[in-house]
Amino acid sequence: MAGSRSTNYVDSDDCLLEYSYLFSPDLLRGKVAFITGGGSGIGFRIAEIFMRHGCNVAIGSRNTSRVEIAAKKLVQVTGGRCLSLCMDVRHVDEVSSAVEETVASLGLIDILVNNAAGNFLCPASSLSSKGFRTVMEIDTLGTFNTTKAVYERCFKARGGIVVNLTATLGLRGQVMQVHAGCAKAAIDAMTRHLAVEWGPDAVRVNSLAPGPIEETEGMRRLGGSWARSAGLFQKLPLGRAGSKLDVAHAALFLASPAADYITGITLLVDGGSWLTTPNAFPDILPSAKL
Ligand code: HXC
Ligand code: NAP
């Protein structure tokens, strides 16, 4: 089996109990990262791994206590600096204030991770216009708002790195996910457009598309426990669901000088999942009704 469950899986927004370095511990020494949705799930693990590699990090989301608690845990375990910010990526003024606060507290931003997202399973026939728009606004518009604010304040003059969390949903199409698939596909397009437009400013822009990642809100909402009990993950090419650490290491790579000549791509971190996973109703959630 390629990879193992072991201690890479932690079923809460807590730091890893133990960590073995795969990259140089100084890989992001002295850098500043801004991570939306960094108080939970994949975003939390990315913040932890960046901090373990010397990066100072700002994490922002709507729930103040969530990001405050997360920041305390991250500082305690890594010894780095972590700023918690209350912001909604849909509101340009809140994003701008959060970026200003980060610059004032940690210095100019070097790395932006657009991780905030909203999703739920819903057949297209039951999905309201507002439901579709809400996911587009959080995922796509939120990514644009944050990227633009960080570019204008920090990247335009000195370059920078953007990592956008997307998904493989839109590659083939998937039931009950038209809203998320469209939102993530639009972000992948944004990645390519901005990579071209801002390459001359030394800005690299890439997408990172996770597959099914254990112990996340995304998996909880999208039928993960059913998929696990039905043994679907063993049938994936790499024989397991991913860990938050798998995604964090890929984000670390994209944010590091090891990826200096990579821009405009979507890096799939899915164990080959999109190639083989059933994507038709009722394979995903047998109890759901169209
Ligand atoms: C149908 C729904 C719905 C549901 C909300 N809506 N939940 N429709 N089924 N389960 C509709 C509402 O009815 C409403 O439309 C509209 O969406 C807005 O709902 P609000 O609750 O007012 O929105 P808001 O408070 O902004 O909350 C956003 C949210 C919420 C996305 C709905 O779930 C959220 O905050 N999520 C953040 C956390 C999250 O989703 N994490 C998972 C990310 S995983 P009407 O017309 O009724 O007023 C992920 C994985 C991607 O992204 C790919 C995986 C493979
Ligand atoms: P998660 O824990 O729910 O993370 C989403 C984060 O976004 C939360 O911390 C949430 O915090 C924040 N957020 C939501 N709406 C926001 C808004 N309007 N403004 C600011 N912050 C907002 O989910 P996850 O499963 O770790 O997913 C992380 C990323 O990976 C997402 O982009 C997701 O699409 C992608 N992904 C996940 C999987 C998976 O298997 N889990 C698969 C493919 C892609 P608040 O509620 O405090 O705002």
Residue 4: the pLDDT is 46
Coil vs helix vs strand at 261:
coil
Distance (Å) from CA 135 to ligand 1 centroid? 7
Quick one: pLDDT at residue 285?
Answer: 58
Residue 255: inside a domain, yes or no? yes
Arithmetic mean of pLDDT, 214-219: 96
Residue 33's DSSP bridge partners are: 57, 111
In a domain, 286, yes or no: no
Instruction: Give the ligand whose atoms come closest to the C-alpha of residue 41.
Output: 2
In a domain, 10, yes or no: no
Q: How far is CA 137 from the centre of its chain?
A: 16
Look at residue 4 and tell me if it is in a domain.
Answer: no
Total domain count, the chain: 1
Q: What whole-number distance in Å separates Cα of residue 159 and Cα of residue 42? A: 25
Q: Is the pLDDT at 241 greater than 60, yes or no?
A: yes
Is residue 2's pLDDT more than 60?
no
Count Cα atoms within 13 angstroms, Cβ side, for 29.
5
Give the tens place of pLDDT for each residue, 33-52. 999 999 999 999 999 999 99
What is the per-residue pLDDT for 278?
78
Domain that holds residue 120: 32-270
The whole-number average pLDDT for the span 183-203 is 98
Residue 223 banded pLDDT, cuts 50, 70, 90? confident
pLDDT at 286: 56
Beta partners for residue 36, in sequence order = 60
The protein residue with its alpha carbon nearest to ligand 2, atom 2, reads 41
Which atom of ligand 2 is the closest one to the Cα of 13?
2
Integer Cα distance of 170 and 59 in angstroms: 27
* CATH number of the CATH domain containing 169: 3.40.50.720
What percent of the chain shows pLDDT beyond 90? 87
Q: Does ligand 1 lie within 6 Å of residue 218's CB atom?
A: yes
Residue 213, domain member (yes or no): yes
Asked if residue 281 belongs to a domain, the reply is no
Instruction: Please check whether residue 75 lies inside any domain of the structure.
Output: yes
Residue to substitute in 12, 35, 94, 213 for testing ligand 2 pocket (most ligand atoms within 8 angstroms of CB) = 213
In a domain, 167, yes or no: yes
* Strands 203-210, 266-269: pairing kind: parallel
